[in-house]
């Protein structure tokens, strides 16, 4: 079984189209999205037809919960005033430009999803099994803690997103934690492509753990078109700069030291 996992669409319908094509070309049997369909980018309603037409199964991220219920903010978990300033601009724009029909659909999304493939138990969440907005960073999240989350969740493969940066870790008893990354914006690495995760399961021999392959796939898309559309919608120049350069200009204070040192700003 081959499954594609998309995190954080952030209204980037152009990247979603490219990722779906790529995943299907690679033989993906199933497509999943781990939440945060809106934010950051232009025209949030444009991701929904792609989701509906391709049968992507979605769970609810913090953004989806806020947009669906018309809350006062994105529940992003920021504490820095500058980060919250840009989060407010992004949230207000997304809320204003998401139709009532799509808001109602977001309200019905589950907060997590369990699937069983080839004897492996997979749990899909947005931030963590504990909290939708929990940040699990590679540099600050211990293997012991991830082992506990996997055990408490009874999961062989635990998948999340929310941080915007893809990474994975091998856990005890051949289990795995995977942050699938996001399609909405680059990974703060100076490259304009975005990322999704492809997981392949295999039938196990009797009495042996089922093997799993985890691959992070870069996705090229028309980022210059996205930047033009962001400008035409009056979104901040800082958002446009990230799309064009691959370096984050916002949401920086939430980054732990090691992750922030990898960036330009």
Nearest to 115 by CA among 47, 50, 31: 31
The answer, as to whether pTM is greater than 0.85, is: yes
| Residue-number span of the structural domain to which 36 is assigned | 2-261
Residue 172: give its domain's CATH number. Answer: 3.60.21.10
C-alpha 40/C-alpha 100 separation (Å) is 19
Task: Give the pLDDT mean for 51-60.
Answer: 98
C-alpha 128/C-alpha 75 separation (Å) is 14
Number of domains in the chain: 1
Whether residue 84 is predicted with pLDDT greater than 80 in this model: the reply is yes
C-alpha 9/C-alpha 33 separation (Å) is 8
The answer to whether the CB of 169 falls within 8 A of the CB of 146 is: yes
DSSP the chain: -EEEEE---TT-HHHHHHHHHHHHHTT-SEEEE-S--SSSSS-GGGHHHHHHHHT-EE---HHHHHHHHT-SS------SHHHHHHHHHHHHHHHHTS-HHHHHHHHT--S-EEEEETTEEEEE-SS-SS-TT----TTT--HHHHHHHHHHHT-SEEEE-SSS--EEEE-GGG-EEEE---SSS--SSS---EEEEEEEE-PPPTTSPPPEEEEEEEE---HHHHHHHHHHTT--HHHHHHHHHS---SS-TTS-HHHHHTS--
- The packing angle between helices 13-25 and 223-232, to 10°, is 160
pLDDT for 81 equals 93
**Mean model confidence pLDDT for the chain:** 95
Nearest to 2 by CA among 20, 40, 29, 24: 29
pLDDT for 203 equals 76
Give me the residues paired with residue 30 across strands. 3
At residue 206 the predicted structure's pLDDT band, cuts being 50, 70 and 90, is low
Burial pattern 221-236, b for ≥16 Cβ within 10 A else e, equals bebeebbebbeeeebb
pLDDT for 211 equals 77
C-alpha 175/C-alpha 212 separation (Å) is 9
At residue 209 the predicted structure's pLDDT band, cuts being 50, 70 and 90, is low
Percentage of the chain beyond pLDDT 90 is: 92
At residue 169 the predicted structure's pLDDT band, cuts being 50, 70 and 90, is very high
Whether residue 68 is predicted with pLDDT greater than 70 in this model: the reply is yes
């Amino acid at each position: 079984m081959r499954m594609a996992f998309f995190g954080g669409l952030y209204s980037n319908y152009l990247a979603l189209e490219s990722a779906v094509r790529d995943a299907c070309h690679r033989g993906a049997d199933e497509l999943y999205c781990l939440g945060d369909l809106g934010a950051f980018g232009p025209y949030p309603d444009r991701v929904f037809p792609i989701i509906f037409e391709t049968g992507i199964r979605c769970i609810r991220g913090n953004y989806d919960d806020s947009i669906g219920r018309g809350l006062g903010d994105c529940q992003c978990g920021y504490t820095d005033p500058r980060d919250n300033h840009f989060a407010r601009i992004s949230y207000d724009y997304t809320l204003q430009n998401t139709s009532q029909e799509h808001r109602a659909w977001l309200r019905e999304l589950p907060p997590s999803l369990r699937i069983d493939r080839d004897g492996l138990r997979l749990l899909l969440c947005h931030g963590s099994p504990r909290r939708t907005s929990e940040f699990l960073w590679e540099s600050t999240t211990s293997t012991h803690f991830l082992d506990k989350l996997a055990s408490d969740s009874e999961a062989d493969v635990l998948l999340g997103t929310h941080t915007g940066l893809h990474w994975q870790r091998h856990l005890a008893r051949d289990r795995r934690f995977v942050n699938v990354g996001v399609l909405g914006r680059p990974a703060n690495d100076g490259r304009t492509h975005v990322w999704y995760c492809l997981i392949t399961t295999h039938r196990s021999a009797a009495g042996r753990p089922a093997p799993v392959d985890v691959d992070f796939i870069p996705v090229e898309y028309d980022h210059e078109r996205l930047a033009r559309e962001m400008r035409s919608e009056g979104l901040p120049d800082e958002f446009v700069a990230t799309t064009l350069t691959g370096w984050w200009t916002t949401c920086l204070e939430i980054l732990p030291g090691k992750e922030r040192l990898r960036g330009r700003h």
